[in-house]
Amino acid sequence: MRRPLRTLAAGLAILSVGAAGCGPDSPPPRPAIDISRLDVGSYPTAPREIGKPRFDHARLSEGQRLGGFIPLPMDINPRFIFQPYSETGPVLAFIETLYSLNLSVDSFKANAPGFIAGFDGLAYSENDVSIATSLSNAVLLFADQQSATSAAATLAQAIATKQGLREPVGIGEHPAALAFWKPGTQELYSFQADGPYVIYTEVKDQAKIAVGTTDLPAMVSLVQQSLDMVGARLHGFRPTPPDKLTDVPIDHDGMLGRSLPRPNEDGWRNPPGLYDRTGALNLSSDPVRDKKLFDEAGVDWLVYNAGYLYRAESRKGAQLIRDSHSAPSKLYRRIDPPKSLPTARCREFRLTDVVTNRFHCTASYDRYTAEVWSNQLIDVYQRISAQYAILAKAT
């Protein structure tokens, strides 16, 4: 087409849009996406029905649900705003052993009979973890109060022995807390039974460890703050009776069924699952930003599977998440999206890092925003394309 004809065609297109009723405040029309042309590789592109879970899957779902009733570290103390990178799959809900306890599965089971599921949150006071204070809170749910009380004592003793913690420490207004430390170190470990729960709190100050100084009152104060808030929030949680766990649906409004299934090579990551807004913030590497963003966008659910799938209040909210989570920065440069999915936002990590994946893409469809990452460009394109196709077919 010659240039004058191209200009005329463009003008007619604009007139056509105006004639269709688009006023000056109307958003520009979205590019039409032909999902049959998307390169999805071997990834599935159809939504799924999530059936009745097996017992261990139901336990894991209970732990993920529990995450919605545990405060973020930054809610306990505003210093703790740096959370682990989400791409590496932080350990959150668990059913075998708590990673930070450093106990084998067999040792954990021997010390915690009646354990159902747990949820662990972790954050740092500094971006550089080598000089940061860390605050870890885990809540372990047991079949009954007796099991929790017994496990608090046996786990506390097991950790005290393993870590060489010789001196018990009183935690202010929490006389039932079993806390230990090794004099001369800046680490404190605490276990407290609270109904059917065991609340495990761990505080480490790497800067003081490095220079060989201690401040036990500061650690005790932080553990007390944590126990106060965690205990108060847990009052709102209603545990599912163990014999009813498999009767509770693990999906919500088809969210899990809309998510891109995780490939086998991602099997090392934190288990897939569904989180409410509070639980989702535990997966964020920037919870201050995302707390504000989730409120503005109206996020209510997040699925963690082959990537993240957010549900917002509206299409506009979904686009807010897409654009915020794909913004270029000092560490990320913008790259082209897949050719058949021009509405996606993609970027590349500028540095070489064993923790952070090189490529990252987001895309929104209706109320949903997908976020995926990979060290291979073709793979991240195929993931975001397949997730988009699933969302398009689910509506």
Tell me: the pLDDT tens digits for 239-264?
999 999 999 999 999 999 999 999 88
Average pLDDT over residues 264-293: 88
* Domain contains 2: no
> With b meaning 16 or more CB within 10 Å and e meaning fewer, what string describes 101-140?
bebeeeebeebbeebbbbbbbbbbbbeeeebbbbbbbbbb
**Residue 40 belongs to domain with CATH number:** 3.40.1000
Q: How many folded domains does the chain comprise?
A: 2
Q: How much is the mean pLDDT over the chain?
A: 90
* Domain contains 125: yes
Q: How many residues does this entry show for the chain?
A: 395
Q: In what order do the strands lie in the sheet with 301-304?
A: 273-276, 301-304, 308-311, 368-374, 359-365, 345-349, 332-335
* Domain contains 14: no
For residue 178, list its beta bridge partners: 191
* Domain contains 309: yes
For residues 41 and 79, state if they share a domain.
Answer: no
- Closest to 353 measured CA to CA, from 87, 82, 81: 87
For residue 88, give its domain range. Answer: 55-242
Beta-carbon contacts of residue 23 (< 8 Å; ≥ 6 apart): none
Radius of gyration of the chain (CA): 24
pTM here? 0.88
For residues 323 and 378, state if they share a domain.
Answer: yes
Average pLDDT over residues 92-114: 91
* Domain contains 27: no
Other C-beta atoms lying within 10 Å of the C-beta of residue 163: 16
* Domain contains 105: yes
For residues 315 and 340, state if they share a domain.
Answer: yes
Residue 179, token pair as written in the block? 């806390």
* Domain contains 5: no
DSSP H helical ranges for 101-197:
105-111, 145-163
Give the tens place of pLDDT for each residue, 33-76: 999 999 999 999 999 999 999 999 999 999 999 999 999 999 99
For residues 146 and 88, state if they share a domain.
Answer: yes
> E strand or H helix at 308, and its extent?
strand 308-311
Domain boundary among 177, 209, 242: 242
* Domain contains 29: no
For residues 192 and 76, state if they share a domain.
Answer: yes
